[in-house]
A and B are shown apart, each in its own frame.
Chain A
Amino acid sequence: MPPPKDWTLSELRELLDKGSISSVEITQHYLQRIEKYNSNLNTFISVIRDQALILAELADKRIANKDNVLPLTGIPIALKDNILMKDVGATAGSKFLKDFVSPYHSTVAKKLLDAGAVIVGKTNCDEFAMGSSNENSAFGPVHNPWKHGFAPGGSSGGSAASVAARLVPAALGTDTGGSIRQPAAFCGVVGLKPTYGRVSRYGIIAFASSLDQVGPLTRTVKDNAMVYDSLCGHDPMDSTSSKHPNEITYKALDSVRDLKGLKIGFARELLTERIDPLIRDNVLASIEIYAKLGAVITDVSLPHLDYGIACYYVLAPAEASANLARYDGIRFTARSPRSMNVEDTYAKSRSEGFGPEVKRRILLGTFVLSTGYYDTFYLKAQKVRSLIRQDFMNAFQNVDVILTPTTPSPAFPLGSKNENPLDMYLSDAFTVPVPIAGLPGISIPSGFTNDSRPMGIQLIGKPFAEKTLFETAYSFEQETLFHERVPTL
């Protein structure tokens, strides 16, 4: 048996099913680790110890009675703090929602609880999921478990770092422009952004509605598939939720042997001089591994991906400027005590409540939707969105999966990009086009730098081809075993 801190979700499942350990014992183990390491890593905004232990007891009864035991029954899991759970705080990393307690369950929280999962707490994130380093949290930055003082990535940095540090076997994140995949790469874990519409957005504090998706962060590909299977499916509470039939993805993974016949597309044009040479070498090496595993590597062209960041930073802020209008100081908690009238309440509460990055994006979004600029920016960006989607669809005529680096560089030091937001935005260059096209994308560990910073590759699939992504990722993982390396805390 591996040392306890290294249990994967699938291993925990086996132990629980065999009765060799109880959910309460597992939960206590993780709660202790959180208690021990959270002050240093700052990955959790809130820990719901008592509720978690009650959930664990219920799960143990369920397992003892063999009553509808599902892959996540008894498994501790963390939620990014923009995912609502009834009667539990949800800040979305913002001072504005510091005291907000959700009156209702998000659909994903409800699905997890129905499956018997043990929700242990809410993880730190960039304010309203806007950021790539977790430095935009009102509750302080998260540290990368592999290297203190380095960014864990963002915005789901708390979720990725918690999984990497073995504070939970799995966590949920949300991804709008890379917020699951980029921190997964920085923290050396597996992060999936499902196809748009696959997982319900009901109860997810919205950033950009046409891009936001919930997805799992886990140590292994199989663990990821187990969580994903429990999350997806149509939700009548979300009008953008897809009716595409559910499928079980995790069970077939064990039988994946090689990738003979799988066509992997690779766009060499993406490896520009902006890419860190370490990443360039890593992705080329990863391509070699795939070739060795039997995949056919095919060149593809994605000419419009270069416009991805520009397109994203018009559309996402536009939607965010409206989505964040409800935080107005009239309701929730953060009304400025200095306001004199209604206008003043709005201006002061919002000035005091939001952090600088959120304000920057609200201003940007308000601007691109204004009379006289709508056509030039918003409509133009929508057209670019169609072109990017078309690039992918053309490429998918010839290949099954597209491979890119997840990030242009490995984790950078905290504070190193604060002066230049554009530089920060570019760290999402490879991840942003995927939600723009509504496609599924997964980031998996693909190696380490000499100073132990993880690197990741991204696999992009056709709409609803999550199963193919898992299989492609699993085969690489079993060949390379990067997931077995443990950070020293």
Chain B
Amino acid sequence: MNYETVIGLEVHAQLKTKTKLFCRCENIYGQSPNTLTCPVCLAMPGALPVTNIQAIEFAIKAGFALGCEIQNHSVFSRKNYFYPDLPKGYQISQFDLPLCLNGQLEVTIADQTLNVRIQRIHVEEDAGKLLHGDNLQNKEGSLVDLNRAGVPLIEIVSHPDMRSAEQAAEYLRQLRSILRYIGVCDGNMEEGSLRCDANISIRKPGEQTLGTKVEVKNMNSFKNVQKAIEYEVERQVQFLESGKTIIQETRLWNPDRNITTSMRSKEEAHDYRYFPDPDLLPLELDTQWIETIKSSLDELPHARLQRFQKDLKLPPYDASILTSEKEIADYFEHTLSLYDESKTPAKAKALSNLIMGDVLRLSNELSTPLHQMKITPVHLCKLMNLIDEGQISGKIAKDILDDMAKTGQNPEEIVKEKGLTQISDQGTLHRCIQEVIENNPKQVSDFRAGKEKILGYLVGQVMKATQGKANPAMVNTMLIEELKK
């Protein structure tokens, strides 16, 4: 029998604020254990939380980017449970009165648009990290690192609007892209700055009520999200097919064995005993301030994608690659504004080709993010000009780019130093062509006999003779002229 899959996601995103949510310890990943701590995030007796307004600002940005209604009045509550990574014995979170409500995210998959509704976004603090046995001198013991304790998080809760693992993964991808775009989260799933739990249920097609949901945790990559959901759906189908009942529980994804395993049942679920945190006053926000944040918001990826297609006439593929990351789109637009103020479609496309093809390849090869590469927009623009002026060929341009990425040199200097200027001098080219014709009598007679495909070989010989510096368009025209004499 066919079943309909119903998925809702709860996404935790670390906000990349300067300091933690309730104290002024620095918010940086990967420091020595317990060096980024103070009485507040260590939960020393007597320490008190003070809200970091930048975290609220970032959460509001995310709220606007996801079409939410920002609440002037929201409340921090205590979520009570014991765990060694939670030094206060409660997490400060938001419960019945969150900061953002009722948003949505349009997800595009193969020209189909899916509207995923966002139930709420709330602000909360992250817990610390536990280090267990294997990595420690004392294999029996566990150690607590509280550097992460108190780092600001937003939890973005979707409605159960997704119907496949693919949709869920794509929703997550686009959500990540937006959070990175607006600069509130770096979206690094491996480092845990973006984490995702899925609520999964299945039902017979046409049924209105939802099936029993199972929450799956611990999926720390896009691939795992998709695989875990696919596995869990299949598990539930087999369960129902064999006449069993699905029980409401929390399951953990095991990426080594590619299965989910039960973590706790509904009966074992915590009673978190939420209540408003008496150490913090309700968060009362000024409408004008909220509006300022809205107006400071950068253009979102979807809008930029559409603008690239509409105004620059870029093909959908180019536009989607260029807008997939904010850095790429910024880099492209910055270079384009230097290269061609009027932003004509032809020049935009030429630049897009170079960036998509070679610059991104180099960024990949050198594992350097685009904005940290040595190829500056100014230099890239100069390179484009050299090509347009016919000073260098497209092939030479690629070699020059390689050098630029390594040395950060100006392309004009590289051309000069290495003598790479394109040969466009008719006399020189003529001499070369004559030599090639004389040295290849068989190919020349084949061509003259109608085998026109051989032209490519002859052009190649001219290029070879000039170490690639000959102007290919001129070689082509002049060679045909000569051969047809």
- Interface residue ranges, A against B (CB under 8 Å): 82, 84, 90, 92, 97, 100, 102-104, 106, 201-206, 208-210, 236-240, 318-319, 321-322, 324-326, 328, 330-331, 342, 346, 366, 369-371, 374, 378
Let me know if B46 and A239 touch, CB within 8 A.
no
Let me know if B89 and A378 touch, CB within 8 A.
no
Report the separation of the CA atoms of residues A374 and B144 in the bound assembly, to the nearest whole angstrom. Answer: 33
Chain B, range 16-66, C-beta contacts under 8 Å to A: 39, 42-51
B320 within 8 A of A: no
B476 within 8 A of A: no
Q: How close is A378's CB to chain B, nearest CB, in angstroms? A: 6
Q: Which residues of B contact A209 (CB under 8 A)?
A: 277-279
B80 within 8 A of A: yes
Q: How close is B41's CB to chain A, nearest CB, in angstroms? A: 12
Ordered nearest first, which 10 A-B pairs have the shortest CB separation?
Answer: A325-B89, A369-B273, A210-B278, A209-B278, A203-B46, A205-B45, A326-B43, A330-B84, A104-B39, A209-B279
Q: How close is A234's CB to chain B, nearest CB, in angstroms? A: 12
Choose one: A202, A371, A378; the contact of B47 (CB below 8 Å). A202
Report the separation of the CA atoms of residues A211 and B83 in the bound assembly, to the nearest whole angstrom. Answer: 27
Q: How close is B139's CB to chain A, nearest CB, in angstroms? A: 15
Q: How close is A394's CB to chain B, nearest CB, in angstroms? A: 25
Report the separation of the CA atoms of residues A240 and B46 in the bound assembly, to the nearest whole angstrom. Answer: 14
B281 within 8 A of A: yes
Let me know if A201 and B45 touch, CB within 8 A.
no
Contact digits for B122-159, partner A, Cβ 8 Å, 1 yes 0 no: 00000000000000000000001000000000000000
Contacts A240-B281, A322-B275; A201 near B48 (Cβ below 8 A): yes
Q: Residue of B at shortest CB range from A238?
A: B48
A-B contact pairs, 24 of them (CB 8 A): A90-B45, A104-B39, A201-B46, A201-B48, A203-B46, A204-B46, A205-B46, A206-B45, A206-B46, A209-B279, A237-B48, A239-B50, A240-B278, A240-B280, A240-B281, A322-B78, A322-B80, A322-B273, A325-B80, A326-B89, A328-B89, A346-B82, A366-B273, A369-B275
Q: Which residues of A contact B413 (CB under 8 A)?
A: none
Report the separation of the CA atoms of residues A331 and B88 in the bound assembly, to the nearest whole angstrom. Answer: 11
Let me know if B44 and A104 touch, CB within 8 A.
yes
B87 within 8 A of A: yes
Interface hub of A97, A206, A370 (most chain B Cβ within 10 A) = A206
Interface hub of B43, B275, B281 (most chain A Cβ within 10 A) = B275
B231 within 8 A of A: no
- Interface residue ranges, B against A (CB under 8 Å): 39, 42-51, 78, 80, 82-84, 87-90, 144, 271, 273-275, 277-281
Q: Residue of B at shortest CB range from A325?
A: B89
Let me know if B84 and A342 touch, CB within 8 A.
yes
Contacts A325-B89, A325-B90; A100 near B50 (Cβ below 8 A): no
Report the separation of the CA atoms of residues A202 and B39 in the bound assembly, to the nearest whole angstrom. Answer: 10
Q: Which residues of B contact A104 (CB under 8 A)?
A: 39, 44, 47
Contacts A208-B278, A325-B82, A369-B80; A106 near B46 (Cβ below 8 A): yes
Q: Residue of B at shortest CB range from A378?
A: B275
Q: Which residues of A contact B83 (CB under 8 A)?
A: 342
Let me know if A374 and B82 touch, CB within 8 A.
no
Let me know if A325 and B88 touch, CB within 8 A.
yes
Report the separation of the CA atoms of residues A342 and B278 in the bound assembly, to the nearest whole angstrom. Answer: 28
Choose one: B39, B90, B275; the contact of A374 (CB below 8 Å). B275
Q: How close is B20's CB to chain A, nearest CB, in angstroms? A: 14
Report the separation of the CA atoms of residues A82 and B103 in the bound assembly, to the nearest whole angstrom. Answer: 46
Q: Which residues of B contact A92 (CB under 8 A)?
A: 45
Q: Residue of A at shortest CB range from B45?
A: A205
Choose one: B39, B87, B280; the contact of A239 (CB below 8 Å). B280
Q: How close is B273's CB to chain A, nearest CB, in angstroms? A: 4
Let me know if B271 and A240 touch, CB within 8 A.
no
Q: Residue of A at shortest CB range from B142?
A: A342
Q: Which residues of B contact A100 (CB under 8 A)?
A: 45
Let me know if B46 and A84 touch, CB within 8 A.
yes
Q: How close is A206's CB to chain B, nearest CB, in angstroms? A: 7
Report the separation of the CA atoms of residues A318 and B46 in the bound assembly, to the nearest whole angstrom. Answer: 17
Q: How close is A55's CB to chain B, nearest CB, in angstroms? A: 21
Q: How close is B341's CB to chain A, nearest CB, in angstroms? A: 49
Let me know if B279 and A97 touch, CB within 8 A.
no
Choose one: A82, A103, A240, A328; the contact of B44 (CB below 8 Å). A103
Q: How close is B85's CB to chain A, nearest CB, in angstroms? A: 9
Interface hub of B39, B46, B84, B280 (most chain A Cβ within 10 A) = B46
Let me know if A322 and B90 touch, CB within 8 A.
yes
Q: How close is B60's CB to chain A, nearest CB, in angstroms? A: 19
Q: Which residues of B contact A206 (CB under 8 A)?
A: 45-46, 279
Q: Residue of A at shortest CB range from B146?
A: A331
Let me know if B45 and A326 touch, CB within 8 A.
yes
Q: Which residues of A contact B271 (CB under 8 A)?
A: 370-371
Q: How close is A211's CB to chain B, nearest CB, in angstroms? A: 8
Contacts A208-B278, A236-B50, A319-B278; A328 near B45 (Cβ below 8 A): no
Q: Which residues of A contact B84 (CB under 8 A)?
A: 328, 330, 342
Q: How close is A82's CB to chain B, nearest CB, in angstroms? A: 8
Let me know if B278 and A97 touch, CB within 8 A.
no
Q: Which residues of B contact A205 (CB under 8 A)?
A: 45-46
Q: Residue of B at shortest CB range from A94?
A: B45
Q: Residue of A at shortest CB range from B273?
A: A369
Q: How close is A441's CB to chain B, nearest CB, in angstroms? A: 20
Report the separation of the CA atoms of residues A236 and B49 in the bound assembly, to the nearest whole angstrom. Answer: 10
Q: How close is A186's CB to chain B, nearest CB, in angstroms? A: 26
Q: Which residues of B contact A201 (CB under 8 A)?
A: 46, 48
Let me know if A97 and B44 touch, CB within 8 A.
no
Q: How close is A419's CB to chain B, nearest CB, in angstroms? A: 30
Q: Which residues of B contact A378 (CB under 8 A)?
A: 275
Interface hub of B45, B274, B275 (most chain A Cβ within 10 A) = B45
Choose one: B45, B49, B87, B277; the contact of A84 (CB below 8 Å). B45
Q: Which residues of B contact A326 (CB under 8 A)?
A: 43, 45, 87-89
Q: How close is A325's CB to chain B, nearest CB, in angstroms? A: 2
Let me know if A322 and B44 touch, CB within 8 A.
no
Q: How close is A101's CB to chain B, nearest CB, in angstroms? A: 11
Q: Which residues of B contact A202 (CB under 8 A)?
A: 46-48
Q: Which residues of B contact A370 (CB under 8 A)?
A: 271, 273
Q: Which residues of A contact B44 (CB under 8 A)?
A: 102-104
Let me know if B144 and A330 touch, CB within 8 A.
yes
Let me know if B45 and A322 touch, CB within 8 A.
no
Q: How close is B53's CB to chain A, nearest CB, in angstroms? A: 12
Report the separation of the CA atoms of residues A100 and B87 in the bound assembly, to the nearest whole angstrom. Answer: 16
Q: Which residues of A contact B43 (CB under 8 A)?
A: 326, 331
